[in-house]
Amino acid sequence: MARRVPRDQGLRRILGASALYSAAYGNVGSSIYYALGVTAAFALGLTPVAFLIAGLIFICTAATYAEGTVMYPEAGGSSSFARHAFNELVSFIAAWGQMLNYTITAAISAYFVPHYLAVFWAPLGSAPGDVIAGAVVILALAALNIRGAEESTRFNLVLTILDIATQVVLVAIGVFLVLSPDVLVSNVQLGIAPTWPDFALGIAVGMIAYTGIETISNMSEEARDAARTVPQGVILVVITVLALYAFIPIVALSAMPVVQLPDGSFVTELGTTYADDPILGIVENLGVSGALKEALKIYVGLLAAVILLIATNAGMIGVSRLSYSMGQHRQLPEAIRRVHPRYRTPYIAIAFFAVAAIVTILPGRAEFLATLYSFGAMLSFTIAHAAVIRMRKTEPDAVREWMPPLNFRFRGTLLPLTAIVGGLGTFLAWIVVMALNPVTLLVGSLWMAIGIVVYLLYRRYQNLPLRETVTVVMPEPLGVEEIEYRSVVVGLRPGEVLSDELITTALALTSQTRRAIHVAPLLAVPADLPLDADLTEAEEAAQNEIERGRIEAGLRVTGKVVRVREGEEGYSLDRLARSLDAEAVIVDLPTSHGVPVYDRVLRTLLAKRPCRVIVVSGEAK
């Protein structure tokens, strides 16, 4: 019999600091390919200073997320913090701001993909080619996510290494060939180039270079020793990103200095000619020539395009996960979490936000996308800071296994200076973005107003309190609450779907253990066909049940379609459970006209007993 583990030994997690770091950097690191140009368009020669100030605010924000995530290691980031500190309405506002972030992440990343691919075909680098290609990228990835897709963490890790190595090489070449302190000094005329309002806006826009820290929060449920690994992962991301943004702008502005135009205005090619592909601009002006220059351009163009494609897909996956979570907490109408009858993905949410992303790129303005992104991100960050500060007051005795340095006592409450400074910084950045960009103010305010109105109307229609947390009631698993298993197999008969009862039971049995749930849809192959016959449609339907499990349980789910002959289903599940060293097999109890039926699958499993067999009562839908 497989080993069973009491619940008091639970919460075994597997993600270490390096895994959290690579996942977070994969989201943060892509921003260098667009943030550099749009920030330089405003901050000019003070772009390195703008990134430095934004980086200091980011350090404070990272500290806030580390404290909040260690305290409540659950997905949601600022939305989760706000739910604990304030109420469900504030949590919704933070979540709706995050939804804007995910939408614009998909939009801005997709918009910049064709600009880097223009090294192969020039029309992709200008309108309307860039807008059309960006829209095609969004539509293609939306369709992929509706059918069911997930990120490859191993592939992301490889790209992270390549990305960091590439940028280090570019900095090293630039320091040797083009770096000039005299040019950097002459680039700046305080109050003139840039003007103070433009410099303030440059800082606010520069904050987009540091967004993505919520990735660690969303993965915290899988973190091993969260009190140690979450802060370590955050610190590694902060150090890497700050180092890159300290040197890359210096090299870029040495290669593309600020110049004064005949009309008296000041510009840099980094924020004009190469605003849409700033890293390619560095390669173009790095001082190398010939075959080496062309090879670098092709390499950087391909690498940037792939990284931005993954960032676009991350935005779509974020939309999928967050919309489902908001539906679970009754923050949005039930339709938003409705899953596709075949693909078992929240297709309505994915389609809606894909259209919203396409609408935002239609003007073809990178500055608009950057400022709108900053609008949503700064709002979410400010709420996160406020939530952590409030929890210091309302939950002073709560267990805080990690706190940032620089705390001080005020009126009996130990307050975090990092959250106060970070909150002021992100709030001021939010105000600056709105004050200096009327279009961003209008669109961002409209987005938030629509969301709040929908929330209020839905809650009123459902007779739900506006401020109290109300979640969708999931079926309670029967008789399995006292035991936790390291691994379970969820067996699905041919044509059977992953019911709420099955996934709820599996989640309760395995607690927080990573990759502990193996979904095994059985695919019956007719006797007159070979076992490896082409059954594409049926295999896709079975695979979609695995994807649905991943939507509801994330990294805890693995799966594989198992081909079987009719009558062999129970024996196949027996062999699979033994090969995986599973500690429990979970199967539905089928019924006929409301009467439970112990079919051949159940009889075989109960006779073979590869491990504990959990029978879930409730007809699969």
| Widest pairwise Cα distance in the chain | 88
Q: Where in the chain is the domain with CATH 3.40.50.620?
A: 483-617
- The average pLDDT across 357-362 equals 92
Residues of the chain above pLDDT 70, percent: 84
Residue 610: what residue type?
P
Residue 528: what residue type?
D
- The average pLDDT across 477-482 equals 46
Instruction: Give every CB contact of residue 114 below 8 A, 6+ residues apart in sequence.
Output: 124, 125, 129, 130, 133, 134, 137
Would you identify the CATH topology of the domain 483-617? Rossmann fold (3.40.50)
Residue 9 has pLDDT above 50, yes or no: no
Per-residue pLDDT reduced to its tens digit, 496-553: 888 888 888 888 887 655 668 899 999 988 888 888 888 888 888 888 888 888 877 7
pLDDT at 512: 58
Residue 320 has pLDDT above 70, yes or no: yes
Q: What's the CATH number for 18-253+263-365+377-424?
A: 1.20.1740.10
Residue predicted with more confidence, 233 or 506: 506
Residues of the chain above pLDDT 90, percent: 25
Residue 260 has pLDDT above 60, yes or no: yes
Q: What is the mean pLDDT of the chain?
A: 82
Residue 343 — very low, low, confident or very high, per pLDDT cuts 50/70/90?
A: low
Residue 619 — very low, low, confident or very high, per pLDDT cuts 50/70/90?
A: very low
CA distance 129 to 135: 10
Residue predicted with more confidence, 153 or 354: 354
pLDDT at 479: 46
pLDDT at 415: 94
Per-residue pLDDT reduced to its tens digit, 114-132: 999 999 998 998 889 999 9
CA distance 445 to 423: 20
- The average pLDDT across 375-393 equals 93
Question: How many other CB atoms are there within 10 angstroms of residue 165's CB atom?
Answer: 10
Residue 138 — very low, low, confident or very high, per pLDDT cuts 50/70/90?
A: very high
Q: Where in the chain is the domain with CATH 1.20.1740.10?
A: 18-253+263-365+377-424
Question: Which residue reads 């919203």 in tokens?
Answer: 356
User: Where are the strands (E) in 256-336, listed by range?
Assistant: 258-260, 266-268
The token duo for 139 is: 């539509």
- Residue 492 β-bridge partners: 521
